[in-house]
Structures are given as structure tokens and as C-alpha cells.
Amino acid sequence: MTDRTLHFPLPDEYEDAELRARVAAAYQAVPTADPAQVERCARAVLAAAMHAPAERRTGVVSPRWWWGVAAAAVLVVMTSRPWRPELARNEADSAFTASRPITEPRGATVEERGDVTRFDLVLPTEAEEVALVGDFNGWDENATPMVRRAGNTTWSARVPLPPGRHIYAFVVDGRRWLVDPLAPQVPDAGYGPTNALIVDGTN
């Protein structure tokens, strides 16, 4: 079987010369537009375009407004890292403390999932052991030892705490009681200063 190309001739160019002349004459008979009409058109176009400026060619890709929004969203997500809140908090804390050498203790509390509260303490000097004491463990120095985290001056402890108000303090090397000077404190009832913490239980 052989392929055979079938040719369909294009219709010849039909032209009605008389009609062509008449249409062209009618076309040309339309007077040029009034200059005011042209100006009205140009003004209307430019006024409408004020709200939607002409596209400008800037190479293969042209900037879009949502690029900035997307970049900002990525930056926020990468900075806050919602999937690891404790990491973000740690880094924020360490960034804060790393900016200058600390001269006094600095603590932080973070409510984690499952009613667990994490206590952090950064000391200006090294310590052998640190414990967390409070109304939740009967002020027992041996009940909640803190764990050394980064280096020898940062300590952490995780304690399950029910929603409510709790007061606490830190014990360094079994003898020195101290508080976080930047955290809320309760009046000294004769046993030394203590910090106060409200657990709202929303996590």
C-alpha cells in the first residue's frame, strides 16, 4: 500500500474590484476622529491603567508581588520552627545570653506539651549541681535535680505541673538558693526569695 498525498487546492483569491473600491471609499469617507475624542481615549486609558500599570519586561522572569510574601513566610517559619518550639526557644535564649557575658543568674520557663514545664537556668559561674525546688516538690532539694545542658553553666529540668500558680527557686551546689531576677517574684515570707509561675495549661 502506498501513501498518496491528496492535494486540495486553495480557493483562488476572489476579488470584486468594484466592491473593493466602494468599501475602501466608504472606509476613507469616515472623517478622522475629533482630537478631543482621541485625547479622551488616551486620558481614560492612562487613568484606568493607574490602578494596573503596564507590564514591564524584565528578562525571562518578572517580579511578582507575592514573591515578597512567600519569602517573608519562609523566613518566619524557618526562624520560629513551630515543629520544634523548644529548639527555637533555646536558640533565642542562647542568642540572648551569648551577646554579652552574664553577670547574674538568668532563668526561663517554657510550657511544653502534656502539662510539662521546662525550667532553664543560666549561671554566671560553673556549678557542680543544681536543683529545682518549689511548692510542687515540697521544697525538697533532692527531688528535682537539674541537668547540665550546654557547657557547665546552663541547667534544665522538666516538671509536670497542673494549671495554677506555682512558686519555685533554684539551689546551687546544695547550699546557695537563688532566683531568676528577671522573673516574677513573691514577697519573702522569711524563707528567702522565690519566683512565681502561672501555668495556664493551654499547651
Partner 1 sequence: MTDAELVVRTRAGEPDAFGTLVGRYYDACWRFAYHMLGERADAEDVVQETFLRAYLAIGRYDERDQFRGWLFRILTNQCRNAQTSRGRRTKRFIQDELAIESAPAPPPGLATGVEDAAIVRALAQLDPLQREALLLKYAEGLEYSEMSAMTGAGESALKMRVKRGSERLRALLGTLHD
> Of 7-15, 117-125, 128-136, 137-145, which part binds partner 1 (CB under 8 A)?
7-15
Cα separation, 107 vs 123, whole angstroms: 9
CA separation for the pair 104, 77 (Å, rounded)? 33
Considering the complex, state which of residue 1 and residue 48 has its C-beta at the smaller distance from partner 1.
Answer: 48
Cell numbers linked to 14: 476572489
Q: Does 63 bind partner 1 (CB under 8 A)?
A: no
Report the distance separating Cα 161 and Cα 109, nearest Å: 12
Kindly state the smallest distance separating residue 39's Cβ from partner 1, in Å: 8
Smallest separation, CB 66 to partner 1 (Å): 18
Whether the CB-CB separation of 99 and 190 falls below 8 Å is answered with no
Among 57, 64, 100, 175, binds partner 1 (CB under 8 A): 57
Residue 67 is a binding residue for partner 1 (CB under 8 A):
no
Among 7, 11, 61, 114, binds partner 1 (CB under 8 A): 11
Please tell me the total number of residues recorded for the chain in this structure. Answer: 203
b/e per residue, 44-76, with b = 16+ CB within 10 A?
eeeeeeeeeeeeeeeeeeeeeeeeeeeeeeeee
> Is there binding between residue 65 and partner 1 (CB under 8 A)?
no
Cβ of residue 89: shortest distance to partner 1, in angstroms? Answer: 47
> Which helix (H) or strand (E) segment is 29 a member of?
helix 17-29
Name, in order, each residue with C-beta under 8 angstroms of 196's C-beta and a sequence gap of 6 or more: 165, 166, 167, 168, 183, 184, 185, 186
Q: Binding of partner 1 at residue 10 (CB under 8 A)?
A: yes
Which is closer to partner 1, CB of 56 or CB of 175?
Answer: 56
Residue 13 engages partner 1 in binding (rule: CB under 8 A) = yes
Given the rule CB under 8 A, which of 11-19, 82-90, 124-132, 178-186 is the region that contacts partner 1? 11-19
- What's the closest the beta carbon of residue 197 comes to partner 1, in angstroms? 59
- Binding residues (CB under 8 A) for partner 1: these are 10-16, 19-20, 22-33, 37-38, 41-42, 44-46, 48-49, 52-57, 62
